[in-house]
Amino acid sequence: MDANRTSQVSDDSLAVETLNLTRRYGDLVAVSSLNMQVHRGDLFGFIGSNGAGKTTTLRILSTFLIPSEGAARVLGHDLKREADKVRHNIGYMPDFFGVYKDMEVTEYLDFFGACYKIPFKKRETIVRDILELVGLSEKRGALIGALSRGMQQRLGLARVLVHDPQLLLLDEPASGLDPRARVEVMAILQELQKMGKTIIISSHILSELQNLCNRVAIIEKGKLIYCGSVSGVTEQTGVDPVVWVEVNSETGIAVAALRQLPEVTEAEETESRIRVVMQAADTDISCIPEALVRANVKLVGLRRESVDLEDVYLQVTRGETQ
């Protein structure tokens, strides 16, 4: 490993950095040379289809799996050499987790607090505060088996917060929830980010991740396709930035004028509008009305096409699984 790579791994601003992280199951490569960075304080979306390698990656970062090759640092600790320190600073919530249905909510959380050797009196305060945070204060004496699916998910989130971890690894935390329950879980995650937690969340609900996360990674067949800001995902993944133009008449003249602009890659008439592809997502589109004025064409409407995370995902992936 060269000196430059080492300095990147030891960067204190990073909560997670992986270097050529690889996991094999026989001939199957579940995760292939993954190089990914998660900054401290990120609410980080991990996107991919079933079988893409998301769960395997999260299980490696939570120390449940040993990588076949490569390295990673989690909160400044080497994943292999300092696994115990990693475990004490993370909270891992798998996509399917077991609950003790015959236990009361407070008993369940108190049990896990005891596993982390938190003193009894302190556990009482912690359990009370966490239940308030996840909105389960009124269910503190309820049997877990009597809770709805959404409440059990919130309880699972409460469980990983008992020891106050700095990093949360959440594998499909909103899986199987109704729309209201999903919104409530996402609101809790936003509150946790405000409290300074770093959160990695895998999910198939891309519209929610777009509004929730500040950074995302897209993975397919174990290989990283993109890792960076949500705002930059369109440009860096090669999705065309499109502007829709409406004119009152002389569409042919308008198209010809727009094609002459150096900021425009393509302009074509589509039904009653003109589809204009700009060179870059941040290109100033004021050049469009200026060109139409020079061509004596009256502009009726101008709208930049909003490309959401789901559109980007569908364009940059092929839907292939391992």
Looking at residue 142, what is its pLDDT? 96
Question: 246: exposed, middle or buried (C-beta count within 10 Å: 0-12, 13-18, 19+)?
Answer: middle
Give the global pTM: 0.80
Looking at residue 321, what is its pLDDT? 61
Looking at residue 234, what is its pLDDT? 66
Nearest to 89 by CA among 167, 13, 173: 167
State which fold the 240-306 domain adopts.
Answer: Alpha-Beta Plaits (3.30.70)
Looking at residue 1, what is its pLDDT? 38
DSSP 302: E
What's the rounded Cα separation, in Å, for the pair 151 and 106?
13
The pLDDT tens digits along the chain (322 residues) read 343 444 444 578 999 999 999 999 999 999 999 999 999 999 999 998 888 999 999 999 999 999 999 999 999 999 999 999 999 999 999 987 777 889 999 999 999 999 999 999 999 999 999 999 999 999 999 999 999 988 999 999 999 999 999 999 999 988 778 888 888 889 999 999 999 999 999 987 787 788 889 999 999 999 999 898 887 776 666 677 899 999 998 899 999 999 999 999 999 998 889 999 998 777 889 999 999 999 999 999 999 887 677 777 877 777 666 6
Looking at residue 195, what is its pLDDT? 95
* DSSP state string for 166-199: SEEEEESTTTT--HHHHHHHHHHHHHHHHTT-EE
Looking at residue 238, what is its pLDDT? 65
Looking at residue 307, what is its pLDDT? 67
Q: CB–CB of 168/45 below 8 Å?
A: no
Triad 315, 317, 320: Cα angle to 5°: 140
Homologous superfamily, domain 3-235: P-loop containing nucleotide triphosphate hydrolases (3.40.50.300)
Specify the 3-state DSSP secondary structure of 202.
Answer: strand
What does the pLDDT look like over 146-163, one tens digit per residue? 999 889 999 999 999 999
Looking at residue 20, what is its pLDDT? 97
Listed in sequence order, the residues at least 6 apart from 58 whose beta carbon sits closer than 8 Å to its beta carbon are 46, 92, 169, 171, 200, 202
Question: Which sequence spans correspond to the domains of the chain?
Answer: 3-235, 240-306
